[in-house]
């Protein structure tokens, strides 16, 4: 009876991790990035204006607050989205956590809560974001800080 000769290193698997093919063009990804920023900004602006008016009537100043909040949120989101991937994982997580904490803190301050409560709540939100994002970036990078794709 014939047997296979043993090889060095034991049984090897040749399973190679490959990414799913990217079927969209760079232009489509760019449009999706801008669309995401605009939609998130509009939702944030509406939510901020709704918190500010506390169920009262919609006024011109309320609309202005909503649109300015939407524009600032979208601009900061796009800026951080462009800048953050070039940073190390610690700064990457801190940047997104600071953005989330500040955005939440401003929105929470529109509910007529005290300044200390707004700061405390935004620090809690930023801390939660930092823990979750640092864990994600830490598990998706090698020891040299290069992203594993």
Contact 52, 110 (CB under 8 A): yes
Structure confidence at residue 43 (pLDDT): 96
Same domain for 93 and 134: yes
Answer with the residue of higher pLDDT: 86 or 5. 86
Same domain for 34 and 82: yes
Closest CA to 40 of 72, 82, 83: 72
Same domain for 104 and 123: yes
Closest CA to 101 of 77, 120, 75: 120
Contact 64, 90 (CB under 8 A): no
Dist. CA 103–CA 80, nearest whole Å: 13
Is residue 55 domain-resident? yes
User: Mean pLDDT, the chain, as a whole number?
Assistant: 86
Is residue 19 domain-resident? no
For the chain, how many structural domains are there in total? 2
Answer with the residue of higher pLDDT: 133 or 8. 133
What would the two tokens of residue 119 be?
Answer: 């700061």
Same domain for 76 and 38: yes
Same domain for 94 and 81: no
Per-residue pLDDT at 122 exceeds 90: yes
Structure confidence at residue 80 (pLDDT): 93
Alpha carbon 19 to its chain centroid, in Å, reads 22
Per-residue pLDDT at 5 exceeds 90: no
Which stretch of 14-18, 38-42, 140-144 has the lowest confidence by average pLDDT? 14-18
Model pTM score: 0.77
Q: Domain limits at 71?
A: 27-86
Same domain for 80 and 32: yes
What are the tens digits of pLDDT across the range 54-104? 888 888 999 999 999 999 999 999 999 999 878 888 888 999 999 999 999
Same domain for 31 and 82: yes
Answer with the residue of higher pLDDT: 6 or 13. 6
Same domain for 92 and 134: yes
Structure confidence at residue 139 (pLDDT): 87
């Amino acid at each position: 009876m014939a047997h296979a000769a043993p090889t060095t290193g034991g049984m090897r698997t040749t399973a190679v991790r490959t990414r799913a093919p990217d079927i969209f063009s760079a232009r489509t990804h760019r449009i999706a990035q801008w669309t995401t920023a605009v939609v998130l900004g509009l939702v944030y602006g509406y939510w901020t204006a709704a918190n500010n008016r506390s169920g009262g009537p919609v006024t011109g100043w309320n609309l202005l607050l909503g649109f300015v909040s939407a524009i600032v949120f979208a601009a900061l989101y796009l800026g951080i989205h462009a800048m953050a991937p070039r940073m190390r994982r610690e700064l990457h997580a801190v940047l997104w956590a600071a953005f989330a904490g500040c955005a939440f803190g401003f929105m929470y301050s529109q509910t007529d809560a005290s300044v200390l409560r707004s700061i405390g709540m935004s620090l809690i939100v930023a801390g939660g974001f930092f823990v979750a994002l640092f864990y994600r970036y830490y598990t998706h990078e090698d020891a040299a800080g290069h992203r594993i794709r």
